[in-house]
Structure 1
Amino acid sequence: MDPDIAKRLFDEGGTFVLLDVPVGTEFGIDMNTWNVGDKFRGVKMIPPGLHFIYYSAVSKEGSTAPRTGFFHWFEKEEVLARFYSAKDEEITDRRATEDELERFKANKKEMDTFLGVYPYESWKQWVSITNHISKKLLERIQPLCVTIASASNLVRREEQEENIVGEPSERKRHKGSGSATREEDLMSHLICAPGTEIRWSQILGELQFAFVCFLVAHVYDSFERWKRLIDVICRSEKALHDHPGFFMDFMTVLHFQIKLVPQDFFADIVSNNNFLIDALRKFFPNVEEEGSDALVKRAKKFKEHLQDKFEWDFEEENEDDQPVVVDL
């Protein structure tokens, strides 16, 4: 790291202090993951801005628990301190007091050897997939509980209804019918615990939020949301004429997202289902018909890049759209 950048980050960068973490616990920030050692107390020199902090408990046998984490917008020189419960295998709700934070700040140099350095070389990569996620979007879209968990906290729909109206639901009163014992029936009556769900609504920043939540936080529902958003954007014809800047940004965002997806994962989930290829087969012709000259030029370069890199054929017609030949 450049000495001037290192000095500026030491003076102005954020610090995340995490105490009482068991040795071997998987800990990560943004695109970087480690198994902590016995001296670990957190991370220093964090560039100001949006970051995702996450962790997974690791058993003695080496098995890793589902990933849990949270987003945080670090201000200059901010010190964020949290505490880990080995018993519950999670970061607790306890926040450091003002006195504790002042002690951490005052002892910053003494704590230096216990704090890992944020891998600055990965910073540009992180920014490339989060630059449209604003503070305002983060506050509106993240779960009310703030925690992002790859394993959803599910409750029965009837229990939630009972909490709201104060009476057991009709189905709960007649649970002797036996249909609720089937696995598919039970799953259909499970919902995310109130306050734990991601609050989706907007498009461009949300597209990045969904991608980060599935790539880094391992939330599969966010992958499904990412696919739906891409499909909606690629089918939008009138918006191409009205909002050309949006679609310029969309192609840039998608370029960096595709670049970061592991090749084997990308082939297994994306190519086999063909959802991205099918969406772009609609998108590129729409751009040619409705887009400005600059948008058409940018889309052509993006299309050629994908064809060269993945050998995707955007001219091939989707089997579902082809005419069906019937023998009479």
Structure 2
Amino acid sequence: MDPETALGLVKTGSTLLLLDVPQFTLFGIDTQMFSVGPVFKGIKMVPPGTHFVYYSSSDRDGNDFSPIIGFFVTAKPSEVIVRKWHQQEERLIKLSEDEEERYVVAVKKMEFDHQLGPYALDRYGEWRQISNYITEDIVERIEPTGGEITIANEAGLIDTVPKTAMERNLVEQLRNSKFSKPAEKSHKRGCYYTSIPHVIKHKGMSVEELTSLNLDKTQLLETTLMKDFGGAEDKMLGELQFAFIAFLMGQSLEAFHQWKSLISLLFSCIEAPFQTRSQLFTKFVKVIYYQIKYGFHEDQLSKVGAERKDSVFLDHEWLSKDVFLRLLCKEFFSLVLGAPVVDGDLLSWTRKFQKLLETTFGWEFHNNGPDGAFEEDDEFAPVVEMLDDVSFEEGLPA
């Protein structure tokens, strides 16, 4: 990058000024994570938009780490966001308006420029792929009071969650840290996620009617969309992305549960993908495709650094062949790939997602055709019905 281009990005991009962060602290922004050096004062050239900042304090040797704390920020062009390390609480805090303004002026005079690391713009595309539906309004609606997302505030979930390999690791980390007792006493609540019922119950309905509603959750999807999202499909997808990022990067069990709930709701619909919400399901499959591609991509591990790879990327053991996602996907793939009429974009992304799961985890899905695939001239292949183009954000990498 030539000096003139870099200077332009410094002036138009946002700056995240982080004061007094101890050396060896693990710090991340979006898909980038590294160990803090002795002169680190933050990140410059941050593209405007929504970002996720997360960090984990360490001991003096950089060997033991506390539970991750994360928060979303919405950066405006040329904005300076200031946080300062609180040594006793081992977390980043906001400053008073007067003190913050002094630092903002100093940043704009480029007094901290040599102590600010540049945002890796070559990684921005992958961040947009997993966050393109998250808006400032969505963050403000869901984020906890104070904005901090951390398993340290989720001690009440320890004895109630199913113990997958990842959940056991997170729970053990919390129990062994100094955060466990304060979290139990603080009674801080977590994020304000949309409530998704696992079982539909209505008084006066017959057993057959209730069974039908629970087998096909199209009606529940419609009710949830209208009641909780004002009919805006993209807001539901934004919450799905919010939960995934809070789970993957913020290591939040609460977020993992919400991600599972939304995934289960959408994959449990039979009528909606074909009749009422074809475009929603095309966008949904694209969202989860990039989530799995990013979260389990082995090539990404080399970009994280050796300090704590499990902080940002998921172990393949987390998704064994018996877990919910494989079972839900098996039914969904059978539904879409076996349908006589299906939207072309939905069919294309479903096939692409199935291939990703098969190559990433070695899963096998047996659908109507040999090995789950149809030949182009197969008389039993789905009829592709091309609907209006689904609107995705322009400029995102394919």
- TM category (shorter chain) comes to 0.7 to 0.9
> Which amino acid in 2 is paired with 1:256?
Y
Deviations 1:285-328 (A, max 9, x none): 33243733442343234324433443322228xxxxxxxxxxxx
Equivalences for residues 29-178 of structure 1 within 5 A: 29-61=29-61, 62-97=63-98, 99-108=101-110, 110-152=111-153, 154=155
Give 1:274 shift: 2.7
Go from structure 1 to structure 2 and tell me whether the alpha carbon gap of 1:51 and 1:69 turns closer, same or farther (over 3 Å shift): same
Counterpart in 2 of 1:183?
Answer: none
Residue 247 of structure 1 deviates from its aligned partner by 0.9
User: Where does residue 366 of structure 2 map in the other structure?
Assistant: 315
- Which sections of structure 2, spanning at least 5 residues, go unmatched? 158-183, 195-228, 230-235, 299-312, 368-398
Decide whether the 8 Å contact of 2:107 with 2:113 is kept in 1: no
- Cα distance in structure 2, aligned partners of 1:52 and 1:281: 32
Maintained 8 Å contact 2:316/2:361 = no
Q: Is 1:197 matched up with 2:246?
A: no
1:87-123 alpha-carbon deviations (Å, 9 max, x no partner): 2211124345264144224422x21111111111111
- Report the alpha carbon displacement of residue 265 of structure 1 after superposing the two structures with TM: 3.6
Residue 326 of structure 2 aligns to a residue whose secondary structure is helix
CA distance in 1, matches of 2:27, 2:348: 43
Whole-Å Cα distance in 2 between the matches of residues 99 and 266 of structure 1?
Answer: 43
Aligned to 1:249: 283
CA contact (8 A) 1:82 1:96 kept: no
Aligned match of 1:285: 334
Letter in structure 1 aligned against 2:81: L
On the 8 A contact 2:52/2:70 being kept in 1, the answer is yes
Measured on the aligned residues, the alpha-carbon RMSD in Å equals 2.6
In structure 1, distance between residues paired with 2:325 and 2:31: 23
What secondary structure sits across from 2:39 in the alignment?
coil
1:273 alignment partner, one of 309, 319, 322: 322
6-15 or 139-148: bigger deviation: 6-15
The match for 1:28 is 28
Cα distance 1:307–1:9, how it changes in 2: closer, same or farther (>3 A)? same
Match of 2:219 in 1: none
Indicate how the Cα distance of structure 1 residues 192 and 277 shifts in structure 2: closer, same or farther if over 3 A, else same: farther
Asked if 1:259 is matched to 2:293, the reply is yes
Does the Cα contact within 8 Å between 1:155 and 1:192 map onto a contact in 2?
A: no
Give per-residue Cα distances to partners, 1:244-287, cap 9 Å, x unaligned.
11111111111111112235944211124332110111212332
> Hey, what's the Cα distance between the residues in 2 that align with 1:101 and 1:247?
46
CA contact (8 A) 2:82 2:94 kept: no
Q: Would the alpha carbon gap of residues 268 and 85 (structure 1) be closer, same or farther in structure 2, given more than 3 Å must change? A: same
Aligned with 2:272: secondary structure? helix
- The answer for the alignment partner of 1:160 in structure 2 is none
The CA deviation at 1:44 is 0.5
The more displaced of 75-84 and 197-206 is: 197-206
From the superposition, tell whether residues 4 and 278 of structure 1 become closer, same or farther in structure 2 (CA, over 3 Å): farther
Give deviations 1:220-249, integer Å, cap 9, x for gaps: 221222122111111112221211111111
The 2-side partners of 1:297 and 1:25 are apart by 43
> Taking structure 2 as the reference length, what is the TM-score of the superposition?
0.65
Return the index of the structure with the highest Cα Rg: 1
Deviation at 1:207, TM superposition (A): 1.1
| Match 2:261 to one of 210, 218, 228 | 228
CA deviations on 1:15-56 (whole Å, 9 max, x unpaired) are 011112222222221121222222111111101111111221
Contact 2:82–2:95, Cα closer than 8 Å, also in 1: no
Query: TM-score, normalised to structure 1's length?
Result: 0.78
Gaps of 5+ in 1: 157-189, 317-328
In structure 2, what is the Cα distance between the partners aligned to 1:235 and 1:36? 44
Amino acid at match of 2:283: D
User: Contact conserved, 1:82 with 1:95, CA < 8 A, in 2?
Assistant: no
Aligned with 2:153: secondary structure? coil
Corresponding position of 2:199 = none
**Paired position in structure 2 for 1:161:** none
Q: 1:7 to 1:76 in 2, by over 3 A?
A: same
Amino acid at match of 2:95: R
- The number of aligned residues is 282
Runs of 4+ aligned residues of structure 1 deviating over 4 Å after TM superposition are 1-5, 153-156
Q: Distance in 2 between matches of 1:2 and 1:230?
A: 44
Identity %: 32
Q: 1:216, CA displacement in angstroms? A: 0.6
Cα pair distance change 1:10/1:236, threshold 3 Å: same
